[in-house]
Structure 1
Amino acid sequence: MTEPIHDAAQRGYTSAPDSYQRGRPEYPQALLAWLDAQLGVREGARVVDLGAGTGKFTKLLERTGATVTAVEPVDAMRARLSESLPAVQALAGTAQAMPLADGSADVLLCAQAFHWFANGQALHEMHRVLRPAGRLGLVWNVRDESCDWVAAITEIITPYEGDAPRFHTGQWKRPFENQALFTPLRLAEFPHSHAGSFEQVVIDRVLSVSFIAALPQSEREAVQARLRALQQRFAALCEPVINFPYVTQAFSAERLAQP
């Protein structure tokens, strides 16, 4: 039975596609070489971008010359993707029920998404869609909390998490334990940053977080007020252009034969 989309994702991402598009960073150029060498994402490859959102990562995949299919369950996000990337086929579907044939993909990627559907059912569905020896890639832009003001932002938003799945907990790795569908995950890391105004890289970035976007307006405004108060503590946040530091973590695995 297909699991429903988590309420924080459904409500938050439905209400915040604009903040998501403005506030979320792109992906480092170094990922292009990783996509080619580790996953075989290149011209002629059939690639699925699962949980594609507004197409931030899809745009990078399109540059490789591969045939890209985006799968996104939230209508508002998928509409934004289709608007910005009209040449990409964008399908409604979930990680547990993709509208794709068996073995129809050479590569399947999830960027900023796998923690939302990290379960055995999704892993089996990915295995079904990938061809034998196909490749799986999981990518996250992770806030670099060694920076003092980034750590302060995290302190503001963490109390609102509730039961929303989060990358930082590491719970998303559990489906890969004691399974015979994929090889062990391999990690590559890339330094990254998002340059822009305070409104873009801090306010819009935080407002695009699912469980923040899903808050009542009064609470969202309270979060914004606390974020703006950080400019009184950290001079770097008063600069006209702020470089928000990230570390991009990219995991890869290979599909094994049916157990």
Structure 2
Amino acid sequence: MDEDERLRRGASFGAVAQAYAEHRPDYPEAAVRWCLAPAGAPGAPGADLSLLRVVDLGAGTGKLTALLTRLGADVTAVDPDQAMLAELRRQLPEVRALPGSAEALPLADGSADAVLCGQAMHWFDMDVALPEIARVLVAGGVLAGLWNSDDDRVDWVAGLQAVAKGTASPTLSARRAEAFDYDLDHVAPALFTPADRAEFPNGQRRTAQSMVATIATHSRLLVMDPAGRDELLAAVTAYLSERPETADGEFTVPIVTSALRAVRR
């Protein structure tokens, strides 16, 4: 997307902050622990992360913040959208939550052991953001990104993507084809090691109604004209009501969490 569209879509989520918090998928613990492992995080499920200072950058309503807090990390949430931050503070009042962006972090030099970005790194101006993120990381600290993608190797998911015309969650095949597009060592080779990548299953329980509500929180839909948005969501609703996998009650959406991590030199 061009710069104007990136800024417009990136600023669209505050209008649906409560729906975002309710319907967007969360992240698997295994993916978060993998991201944090180079910073010294214990890998065992349930192991305490209290020694780690973690920044959730582009925290939104706190989907990733909540998991990090539950695991015991010392979390600072940062997001540029005041409406999203307000929802995060409502749900997680104990968390330090600050207005700021990847390009201008409100944090001191060397104040973080890890910076995690859940469904956010693609909104950053990487040329500006990477030096700024490196500034707040200690040497040996970790920068990691996580993205939830619908697994379009499953037939009904591929059909949903066709009906949604690219407005639903990006697919696993799209994520793989773009190779995350974040070779951090190419953008800032003096700052970060080459990135490692991994994938984690992250199936989410949904109904047809909640699936439509989830799709309605995606940025392409949020910036559409209302008539076009309503027409597209009606088509998605009709599709889900016709598919045997999704027509009756709850079903599992096959989601894969793609993760990327690099170490601050």
- TM-score category (smaller protein): 0.7 to 0.9
Structure 1 position 205 matched with structure 2 position 208: no
1:141-180 to structure 2, matched below 5 A, reads: 141-158=148-165, 169-170=178-179, 172-177=181-186, 179-180=189-190
Retained in 1: the 8 A contact 2:183–2:194? no
Task: Name the CA shift for 1:173/1:31 in 2 (closer, same or farther; >3 Å).
Answer: closer
AA in 1 matched with 2:258: Q
Alpha-carbon distance, 1:180 to partner: 1.8
Gaps of 5+ in 2: 42-48, 169-173
| Alignment partner, residue 206 of structure 2 | 196
Which of 219, 233, 239 matches 2:228? 219
Q: Between the two proteins, what is the percent identity of the paired residues?
A: 38
Output the CA distance in 1 between the equivalents of 2:23 and 2:237: 15
| 1:105 aligned partner | 112
TM-score using structure 1 length: 0.88
Q: TM-score, normalised by structure 2?
A: 0.86
Cα RMSD, aligned residues only: 2.2
Q: Do the aligned partners of 2:195 and 2:262 also contact (CA within 8 Å) in 1?
A: yes
How far 1:118 moved relative to its partner?
4.7
Residue 129 (structure 2) pairs with residue 128 (structure 1): no
- Number of residues of Structure 1 aligned to a counterpart in Structure 2: 248
Instruction: Indicate the structure whose relative CO is greater, using CA pairs within 8 Å and at least 6 residues apart.
Output: 1
2-side partners of 1:122 and 1:90: how far apart?
A: 19
Could you tell me how far 1:67 is from its partner in structure 2?
A: 0.8
Contact 2:35 2:260 in 1 (8 A): no
Q: Partners of 1:195 and 1:45 in 2: how far apart?
A: 31
Q: Which residue of 2 aligns with 1:114?
A: 121
How far apart in 1 are the matches of 2:7 and 2:84? 15
Structure 2: which amino acid aligns with 1:193?
Answer: G
Match of 2:7 in 1: 6
Equivalent in the alignment of 1:255:
264
Residue number in structure 2 paired with 1:89:
96
Deviation at 1:171, TM superposition (A): 6.4
Distance 1:154 1:39, change over 3 A: farther
Shift of 1:48: 0.3
Counterpart position of 2:45:
none
* Contact preservation (8 Å) 1:39, 1:252: no
| Between 168-177 and 188-197, the greater mean CA deviation after superposition | 168-177
